[in-house]
């Protein structure tokens, strides 16, 4: 038996795993006791990874050879890799020649490795000349990015997992981390067991498994987070719980914010948020004072943990900023156990951000809108210029394809035909695009049905490179077995496409992509070294790191500049922020109601989210029957009073309709929801269920219903709320 240290490919906790192999096949997995994120623990998803990688599973589930469709309605036929790359390059070149580079769109994934992301960004922005490259991380973390930059000056979560044990108060907002980040939640439970005085506040419209352990659950009305945070600041000001000295020394803009929250009186906030005033007072006190110790324990702080409930919102950036305002106003930042700490949904959402993997970003946290940053990146890449035309964000890219503005879509490691909101439009975009390429490890995703060219990619167990988890920790991903079939690494596919395009677009000039595609280890390390150099002098400087150091000393946190002895566990301990004058910036943004309020026609607020044992569209977790033991089918969860009123019983089928589409789903009573709210898991799509339920009713994925309304600053869609109506379905 051989053992290989690697990283779990699911959530942003970034647990280390040890992969066991026998005879060239993966036979087992266990938690890596030496990994600082998980100390040997794994959740149900991580601990069953090996079962999804067994050869028999792979034969059924994997895309193993390149395939090309002669026509959209034809079955795809195998094609040689060389022909596939040549065909793709010819099609892309033709579209660029006819319509310009912005007729192309690249849509990537937070599950790609940093090296994959780096190559595709250089390909799109450096070689082809379009900023139309975005990622499903837009659906996940872009509001956190915008919130950090607006307040603290850089997209850098300042805290770390070890801070759980130093906190006197954990403020968990918009995160069911008991299910979505299970191993991190085990650390929350351990921290509380070690410190019984710790107070846990959970802000969530639903009484989730996370909320069930809270000392105080604030079941706020959907979308009212900004009002809640302003209301808490109002109370802190009234009670003298703000840290005037910290505000004076380290921040700017507090007078404006103070004026804004003057009207956020508890009675008004309680009415808007659907909360009671005593709970607001308690939450403000615990947050400001770092718990409930009397007298306050200055050694303990308040740590906020937050995720999609804040991010997936039409005011996502303002929600993030309003929460960070509270940390700055109370000085709960820059010391052990204190600070805002966004949890990343995907395994490498952070790495994607580091290499500029969003349409508005450039390498090493540079901004596409900044001419000096564009010039720096052009010099690093050896190109004349990086385009200044704003690129399309995820939803916009598909809207542009539906309008005919984008003619070709290159999709890597993600499934937009299930995961993007307003599926009717997304599918129209995929139909209308002249050329759709999907590079993917799995054969049967909903998006595969729309692809002209399917390119087999490697996946967990086969891939090698790096990922960065929620606490800025870079871990190595190592290959335990060779690629299945003819699968290639995502970055290799990008390099081979780039080299084919270079013969057309830059003939006779040295390649911008001189990476070894035969020796994958050497090629991936060379890409990472180039990325490392791009970070020199930036907030995420990793010039002191190397793959050999990661091999010797294990996963490391950034920044880790040349000459440093180690990375930084937490940021801003000196009170100096990466802004022009070193001060953090309060954001005085008023509360805005939901983009699509409920009304008489669509009276329910639909919330979407993860289940404990599944991941995204289930292309991996859906292979294992045991992972359906927890939740066997998609069920619309509803308050019992609402079910009574609609004459629905558990298991009945209901029509669920929004302004964009309709599905039929079985209903289930859930007294932990407030009346007027319904919840449906995000994992099932219509294709996965074969399009029909056992009683013959058509079942669609939840994104048939969701809205493409988005935060104007982060462009992240509001997947946590859509106004819907629910009616009992007539049985056939």
Length of the chain: 732
In whole angstroms, give the CA distance from residue 608 to residue 619.
19
Residue 45 Cβ vs ligand SF4, minimum distance, rounded to whole Å: 4
Residue 6 Cβ vs ligand SF4, minimum distance, rounded to whole Å: 11
Nearer to ligand SF4, 10 or 515 (CB): 10
In whole angstroms, give the CA distance from residue 654 to residue 641.
15
* DSSP state letter for 412: E
Only one of the segments 8-16, 284-292, 666-674, 704-712 lies at the binding site for ligand SF4 (rule: CB under 6 A); that segment is: 8-16
Structure tokens at 70: 């002669």
Question: CB–CB of 617/687 below 8 Å?
Answer: no
Only one of the segments 12-20, 57-65, 326-334, 639-647 lies at the binding site for ligand SF4 (rule: CB under 6 A); that segment is: 12-20
Residue nearest to ligand SF4 (CB): 46
Residue 478 Cβ vs ligand SF4, minimum distance, rounded to whole Å: 16
* DSSP state letter for 633: S
Residue 200 Cβ vs ligand SF4, minimum distance, rounded to whole Å: 19
Q: How far apart are the first and last CA of the chain?
A: 55
Q: Does 113 sit near ligand SF4 (CB under 6 A)?
A: no
Residues 395-424 that bind ligand SF4 (CB under 6 A): none
Nearer to ligand SF4, 42 or 79 (CB): 42
Q: Does 46 sit near ligand SF4 (CB under 6 A)?
A: yes
Residue 37 Cβ vs ligand SF4, minimum distance, rounded to whole Å: 7
Q: Name which of 309, 567, 195 is nearest 187 in CA terms.
A: 195
Site string for ligand SF4, 151-190 (x = CB under 6 A): ------------------------------xxx-------
Nearer to ligand SF4, 183 or 349 (CB): 183
Task: Work out which of 5, 6, 10, 496 binds ligand SF4, going by CB under 6 A.
Answer: 10
In whole angstroms, give the CA distance from residue 140 to residue 505.
34
Q: Does 45 sit near ligand SF4 (CB under 6 A)?
A: yes
Q: Does 38 sit near ligand SF4 (CB under 6 A)?
A: yes
Only one of the segments 9-17, 233-241, 388-396, 500-508 lies at the binding site for ligand SF4 (rule: CB under 6 A); that segment is: 9-17
Q: Does 43 sit near ligand SF4 (CB under 6 A)?
A: yes
Structure tokens at 448: 């595969």
Q: Does 11 sit near ligand SF4 (CB under 6 A)?
A: yes
Question: How many residues touch ligand SF4 (CB under 6 A)?
Answer: 14
Q: How far is CA 217 from CA 92, 171, 205, 405, in A?
A: 52, 10, 9, 47
In whole angstroms, give the CA distance from residue 485 to residue 479.
15
Phi-psi region of 40 (alpha: psi -120 to 50; beta: other; left: phi over 0): left
Burial 126-153 (b: 16+ CB within 10 A, else e): bbbbbbbbbbbbbbbbbbbbbbbbbbbb
Nearer to ligand SF4, 38 or 657 (CB): 38
Residue 638 Cβ vs ligand SF4, minimum distance, rounded to whole Å: 28
Nearer to ligand SF4, 49 or 430 (CB): 49
Question: CB–CB of 262/272 below 8 Å?
Answer: no
In whole angstroms, give the CA distance from residue 64 to residue 445.
14
Residue 202 Cβ vs ligand SF4, minimum distance, rounded to whole Å: 19
In whole angstroms, give the CA distance from residue 370 to residue 722.
35
Only one of the segments 39-47, 158-166, 192-200, 702-710 lies at the binding site for ligand SF4 (rule: CB under 6 A); that segment is: 39-47
Nearer to ligand SF4, 183 or 682 (CB): 183
Q: Name which of 155, 315, 163, 307 is nearest 228 in CA terms.
A: 315
* DSSP state letter for 589: -
In whole angstroms, give the CA distance from residue 489 to residue 499.
15
Burial 50-71 (b: 16+ CB within 10 A, else e): bbbbeeebbeebbbbbbbbbee
Q: Does 620 sit near ligand SF4 (CB under 6 A)?
A: no
Q: Does 42 sit near ligand SF4 (CB under 6 A)?
A: yes
Residue 16 Cβ vs ligand SF4, minimum distance, rounded to whole Å: 9
Q: How far is CA 371 from CA 359, 374, 377, 713, in A?
A: 15, 5, 10, 20
3-state helix, strand, coil in the chain (%, to 5): 35, 20, 45
Residue 342 Cβ vs ligand SF4, minimum distance, rounded to whole Å: 15
Query: Tokens 């324990």 correspond to what residue?
Result: 297
Task: Work out which of 5, 6, 14, 156 binds ligand SF4, going by CB under 6 A.
Answer: 14
Only one of the segments 3-11, 70-78, 126-134, 655-663 lies at the binding site for ligand SF4 (rule: CB under 6 A); that segment is: 3-11
Nearer to ligand SF4, 162 or 539 (CB): 162
Burial 249-277 (b: 16+ CB within 10 A, else e): ebbbbbeebbebbeebebeebbebbbbee
Residue 139 Cβ vs ligand SF4, minimum distance, rounded to whole Å: 18
Residue 623 Cβ vs ligand SF4, minimum distance, rounded to whole Å: 16
Residues 348-387 that bind ligand SF4 (CB under 6 A): none
Nearer to ligand SF4, 51 or 226 (CB): 51
Q: Does 487 sit near ligand SF4 (CB under 6 A)?
A: no
Q: Does 19 sit near ligand SF4 (CB under 6 A)?
A: no
Nearer to ligand SF4, 414 or 439 (CB): 414
Task: Work out which of 6, 15, 542, 648 binds ligand SF4, going by CB under 6 A.
Answer: 15
Nearer to ligand SF4, 45 or 373 (CB): 45
DSSP character string of 297-336: -TT-EEEEEE-HHHHSSTTHHHHHHHHHHHHHHHT-SSST
Task: Work out which of 6, 8, 143, 618 binds ligand SF4, going by CB under 6 A.
Answer: 8
Residue 186 Cβ vs ligand SF4, minimum distance, rounded to whole Å: 9
Query: Tokens 């940021």 correspond to what residue?
Result: 571
Residues 219-248 that bind ligand SF4 (CB under 6 A): none
In whole angstroms, give the CA distance from residue 125 to residue 93.
15
Q: Does 13 sit near ligand SF4 (CB under 6 A)?
A: yes
Residue 611 Cβ vs ligand SF4, minimum distance, rounded to whole Å: 12
Site string for ligand SF4, 248-267 (x = CB under 6 A): --------------------
Residue 14 Cβ vs ligand SF4, minimum distance, rounded to whole Å: 6
Nearer to ligand SF4, 8 or 283 (CB): 8
Structure tokens at 441: 């490890």
Query: Tokens 């026509």 correspond to what residue?
Result: 71
Residue 181 Cβ vs ligand SF4, minimum distance, rounded to whole Å: 6
Q: Does 58 sit near ligand SF4 (CB under 6 A)?
A: no
CB atoms within 10 A of CB 493: 28
Q: Report the side by side order of strands in the sheet with 25-31.
A: 2-7, 16-22, 25-31
Question: CB–CB of 480/26 below 8 Å?
Answer: yes
Nearer to ligand SF4, 149 or 620 (CB): 620
Quote the Cα angle for 537-538-544, to 5°: 60
Nearer to ligand SF4, 46 or 110 (CB): 46
Q: Does 309 sit near ligand SF4 (CB under 6 A)?
A: no
Site for ligand SF4, rule CB under 6 A = 8, 10-11, 13-15, 38, 42-43, 45-46, 181-183
């Amino acid at each position: 038996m051989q053992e290989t240290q690697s990283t779990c490919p699911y959530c942003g906790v970034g647990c280390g795993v040890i992969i066991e192999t026998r005879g060239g096949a993966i036979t087992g997995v266990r938690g890596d006791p030496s990994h600082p994120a998980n100390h040997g623990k794994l959740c149900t998803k991580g601990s069953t990874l090996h079962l999804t990688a067994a050869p028999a599973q792979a034969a059924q589930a994997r895309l193993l050879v390149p395939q090309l469709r002669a026509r959209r309605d034809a079955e795809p036929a195998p094609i040689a890799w060389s022909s596939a790359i040549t065909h793709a390059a010819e099609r892309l070149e033709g579209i660029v020649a006819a319509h310009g580079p912005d007729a192309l769109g690249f849509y990537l994934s937070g599950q790609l490795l940093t090296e994959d992301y780096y190559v595709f960004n250089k390909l799109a922005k450096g070689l082809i000349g379009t900023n139309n490259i975005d990622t499903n991380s837009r659906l996940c973390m872009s509001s956190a990015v915008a919130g950090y930059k607006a307040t603290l000056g850089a997209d850098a979560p300042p805290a770390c997992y070890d801070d759980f044990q130093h906190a006197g108060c954990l403020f968990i907002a918009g995160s069911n981390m008991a299910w979505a980040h299970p191993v991190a939640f085990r650390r929350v439970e351990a921290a509380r067991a070690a410190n019984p005085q710790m107070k846990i506040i959970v802000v969530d419209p639903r009484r989730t498994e996370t909320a069930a352990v809270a000392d105080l659950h604030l079941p706020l009305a959907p979308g009212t987070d900004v009002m809640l945070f302003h209301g808490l600041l109002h109370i802190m000001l009234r009670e003298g719980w703000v840290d005037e000295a910290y505000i004076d020394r380290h921040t700017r803009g507090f007078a404006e914010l103070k004026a804004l929250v003057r009207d956020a009186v508890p009675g008004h906030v309680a009415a808007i948020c659907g909360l009671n005033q005593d709970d607001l007072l308690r939450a403000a006190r615990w947050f400001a004072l770092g718990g409930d110790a009397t007298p306050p324990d200055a050694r303990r702080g308040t740590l906020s943990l937050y995720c999609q409930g804040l991010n997936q919102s039409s005011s996502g950036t303002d929600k993030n900023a309003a929460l960070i305002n509270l940390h700055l106003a109370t000085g709960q930042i820059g010391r052990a156990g204190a600070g805002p700490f966004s949890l990343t949904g995907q395994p490498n959402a952070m790495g994607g951000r580091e290499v500029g993997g969003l349409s508005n970003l450039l390498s090493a946290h540079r901004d596409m809108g900044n001419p000096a940053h564009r010039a720096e990146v052009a010099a690093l890449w050896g190109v004349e210029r990086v385009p200044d035309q704003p690129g399309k964000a995820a939803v916009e890219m598909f809207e542009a394809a539906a309008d005919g503005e984008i003619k070709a879509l290159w999709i890597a490691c993600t499934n937009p035909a299930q995961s993007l909101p307003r599926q009717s439009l997304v599918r129209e975009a995929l139909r209308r695009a002249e050329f759709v390429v999907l590079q993917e490890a799995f054969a049967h995703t909903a998006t595969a049905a729309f692809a002209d060219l399917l390119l087999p990619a490697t996946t967990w167990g086969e891939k090698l490179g790096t990922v960065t988890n929620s606490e800025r920790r870079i871990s190595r991903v190592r290959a335990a077995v060779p690629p299945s079939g003819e699968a290639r690494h995502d970055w290799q596919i990008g390099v081979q496409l780039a080299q084919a395009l270079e013969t057309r677009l830059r003939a006779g000039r040295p390649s911008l992509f001189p990476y070894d595609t035969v020796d994958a280890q050497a090629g991936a390390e060379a890409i990472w070294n180039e990325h490392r150099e791009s970070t020199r002098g930036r907030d995420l400087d990793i010039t002191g790191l190397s793959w050999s150091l990661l091999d010797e000393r294990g996963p490391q946190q950034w920044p880790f500049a040349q000459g440093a002895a180690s990375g930084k566990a937490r940021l801003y301990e000196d009170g100096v922020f990466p802004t022009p004058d070193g001060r953090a910036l309060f954001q005085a943004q008023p509360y805005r109601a939901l983009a699509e309020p409920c009304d008489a026609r669509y009276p329910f607020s639909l919330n979407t989210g993860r289940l404990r044992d599944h991941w995204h569209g289930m292309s991996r977790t859906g292979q294992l029957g045991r992972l359906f033991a927890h939740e066997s089918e998609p069920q619309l969860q509803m308050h019992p009073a609402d079910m009574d009123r609609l004459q629905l019983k558990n298991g009945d089928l209901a029509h669920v309709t929004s302004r964009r589409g309709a599905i039929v789903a079985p209903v289930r009573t859930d007294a932990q929801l407030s009346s007027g709210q319904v919840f449906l898991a995000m994992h099932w799509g219509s294709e996965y269920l074969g399009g029909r339920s056992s009683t013959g009713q058509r079942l669609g994925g939840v994104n048939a219903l969701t809205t493409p309304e988005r935060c104007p600053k982060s462009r992240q869609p509001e997947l946590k709320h859509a106004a819907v109506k629910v009616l009992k379905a007539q049985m056939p």
